[in-house]
């Protein structure tokens, strides 16, 4: 079995595939991950021409270290299979990930997996194209464990709170807002998705926040997602990119403390102790497991 590639997803920037200008801008932003959209950001009349624009953008622009992804239309549309075929035949060598929206079940992900396997063979692609899946329907939330287990090609589960609000009947003025609900309206969904993702070694990512002129509210949503184990959040506007990448990067002082704590624990272990004091508090193997997550993230970022 192929090793899963570890990619940074502190921010996944959504870019309409119908806009050559926005795609060119996105390529130079230094964002971890960009997805060129064929779905909701593109009007039906533009969906077919957008495929060609996306192929040109993938092949022609310098994306630097940015992961390049295309979001296809969902599997109930007349577009989805040709989205995959045209984009992968045209630019498979310069494509890292396909994003599948509105997945309902494991079978949906397996369909995309099989099609990609056939195309990789035919085209002689040497890398494996990954799949990120949007969990944004109540059926998907009910099936999230099975979806997480669907195929080794799967890399990431994303909570898409816009369509999810519609699917569950949540009343919401702005996508990604709190809607005036007491407490955190997305607590349960983020927890459930993140548990399923972690159990299958997948990334969990938080979806869009439409009010791009409210950086503080965006930061707070990102922070909530980060604390409970998600690794990134979407941006729908360039102004959200830095905010997300900052929230999902550990502070240098926390990384230094984590590495120091691991050293202190290893030293205690060599003296036959399983639990010791560190900064006046108890640490044991569980404390070390918690901070090792942080160190792993720092290593991936190159801190
Ligand atoms: N990716 C790349 N560039 C973007 C961008 C994006 N998602 N959103 C805006 N920009 C660019 C604009 O083209 C503009 O460029 P310029 O200064 O060279 O003219 C600049 O950033 C500032 O944009 P601004 O004028 O503030 O907003 P706008 O009215 O052009 O666009 C939206 C606002 C909401 C229409 C736009 O941000 C957008 O289309 N976002 C993505 C929507 C999407 O993908 N939805 C589906 C997923 S939820
Ligand atoms: Mg959606």
What value does the mean pLDDT take over residues 201-229? Answer: 97
How far does CA 76 lie from the centroid of its chain? 23
Report the nearest-CA residue for atom 12 of ligand 1.
22
pLDDT of 1 strictly over 60:
no
Q: Determine what percent of the chain is predicted with pLDDT higher than 90.
A: 94
Report the nearest-CA residue for atom 29 of ligand 1.
237
Ligand 1 centre from 22 Cα, in Å?
A: 7
List the domain boundaries for the chain: 11-247, 252-301
Report the nearest-CA residue for atom 32 of ligand 1.
237
pLDDT of 226 strictly over 90:
yes
Which residues, including other chains, have CB under 8 Å from residue 111's CB and lie 6 or more apart? Answer: 75
Q: How far is residue 273 from each of residues 39, 153, 278, 282, 286, measured CA to CA in Å? A: 56, 41, 13, 12, 14
Q: How far is residue 240 from each of residues 12, 100, 159, 221, measured CA to CA in Å? A: 10, 23, 17, 12
Q: Determine what percent of the chain is predicted with pLDDT higher than 70.
A: 99
pLDDT digits (tens, 9 = 90+) for 230-248: 999 999 999 999 999 999 9
Report the nearest-CA residue for atom 14 of ligand 1.
22
Q: Quick one: which atom of ligand 1 is closest to the CA of 40?
A: 46
pLDDT digits (tens, 9 = 90+) for 171-186: 888 888 877 888 899 9
pLDDT digits (tens, 9 = 90+) for 79-90: 999 999 999 999
Ligand nearest, relative to CA of residue 101: 2
Query: How many C-beta neighbours within 10 Å does residue 95 have?
Result: 23
At residue 301 the predicted structure's pLDDT band, cuts being 50, 70 and 90, is very high
Query: How many C-beta neighbours within 10 Å does residue 228 have?
Result: 15
Ligand nearest, relative to CA of residue 207: 1
Q: Closest Cα partner for 276 from 268, 287, 267?
A: 268
What value does the mean pLDDT take over residues 13-17? Answer: 98
What value does the mean pLDDT take over residues 26-43? Answer: 98
What value does the mean pLDDT take over residues 51-66? Answer: 98
pLDDT of 2 strictly over 90:
no
Ligand 2 centre from 172 Cα, in Å?
A: 15
- Please give the full DSSP string across the chain, using - where no structure is assigned: -PPPPP---SEEEEEETT-HHHHHHHHTS--SEEEEESSTTS-GGGHHHHHHHHHHHHHHS--TT-EEEEEPPPTTSSSHHHHHHHHHHHHGGG--EEEE-S--SHHHHHHHHHHHHHHHHHHT-SSPPEEEEEE-SHHHHHTHHHHHTS-TTEEEEEE-HHHHHHHHT---SSTTS-TT-SS-TTHHHHHHHHHHHHHTT-EEEE---S-TT-HHHHHHHHHHHHHTT--EEEESSGGGHHHHHHHTS--HHHHHHHHHHHHHHHHHHHTT-S-EEETTEEE-HHHHHHHHHHHHHHHHHT-
What value does the mean pLDDT take over residues 201-207? Answer: 98
Report the nearest-CA residue for atom 5 of ligand 1.
237
Ligand nearest, relative to CA of residue 236: 1
Which residues, including other chains, have CB under 8 Å from residue 11's CB and lie 6 or more apart? Answer: 31, 32, 33, 232, 233, 234, 235, 240, 241, 244, 245, 248
pLDDT of 18 strictly over 60:
yes
pLDDT digits (tens, 9 = 90+) for 136-175: 999 999 999 999 999 999 999 999 999 999 999 998 888 8
Q: Quick one: which atom of ligand 1 is closest to the CA of 16?
A: 44
- Ligand 1 contacts (CB < 6 A) are 13-16, 21-22, 25-26, 37, 40-41, 208, 236-238
Q: How far is residue 198 from each of residues 112, 148, 186, 202, measured CA to CA in Å? A: 22, 9, 18, 6
Ligand 2 centre from 42 Cα, in Å?
A: 12
CATH tag for 11-247 (out of 3.40.50.12780, 3.10.20.740, 3.40.430.10, 3.20.20.60): 3.20.20.60
- Give residue 132's pLDDT: 98
- Give residue 181's pLDDT: 87
Ligand nearest, relative to CA of residue 163: 2
pLDDT digits (tens, 9 = 90+) for 90-120: 999 999 999 999 999 999 999 999 999 999 9
């Amino acid at each position: 079995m192929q090793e899963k590639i570890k990619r940074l997803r502190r921010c996944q920037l959504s870019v309409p595939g119908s806009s050559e200008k926005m795609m060119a801008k996105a390529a130079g932003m230094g964002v971890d991950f960009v997805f060129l959209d064929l779905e909701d950001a593109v009007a039906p009349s533009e969906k077919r021409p957008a495929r060609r624009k996306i192929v040109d953008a993938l092949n022609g622009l310098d994306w630097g270290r940015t992961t390049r992804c295309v979001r296809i239309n969902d599997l109930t549309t007349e577009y989805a299979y040709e989205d995959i075929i045209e984009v992968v035949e045209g630019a498979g060598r310069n494509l890292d990930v396909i994003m599948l929206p509105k997945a309902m079940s494991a079978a949906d992900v397996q369909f995309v997996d099989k099609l990609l396997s056939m195309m990789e063979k035919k085209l002689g692609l040497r890398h494996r194209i990954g799949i990120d899946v949007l969990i944004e329907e109540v059926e998907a939330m009910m099936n999230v464990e099975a979806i997480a287990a669907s195929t080794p090609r799967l890399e990431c589960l994303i909570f898409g709170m816009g369509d999810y609000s519609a699917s569950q009947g949540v009343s919401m003025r702005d996508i990604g807002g709190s809607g005036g609900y007491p407490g955190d309206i997305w607590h349960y969904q983020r927890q459930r998705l993140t548990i399923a993702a972690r159990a299958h070694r997948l990334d969990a990512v938080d979806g869009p926040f439409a009010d791009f002129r409210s950086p503080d509210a965006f930061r707070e949503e990102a922070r909530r997602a980060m604390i409970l184990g998600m690794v990134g959040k979407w941006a729908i506007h360039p102004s959200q990119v830095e905010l997300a990448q900052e929230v999902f990067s550990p502070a240098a002082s926390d990384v230094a403390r984590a590495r120091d704590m691991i050293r202190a624990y290893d030293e205690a272990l060599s003296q036959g102790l399983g639990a010791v004091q560190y900064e006046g508090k108890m640490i044991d193997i569980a404390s070390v497991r918690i901070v090792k997550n942080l160190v792993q993230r720092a290593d991936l970022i190159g801190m």
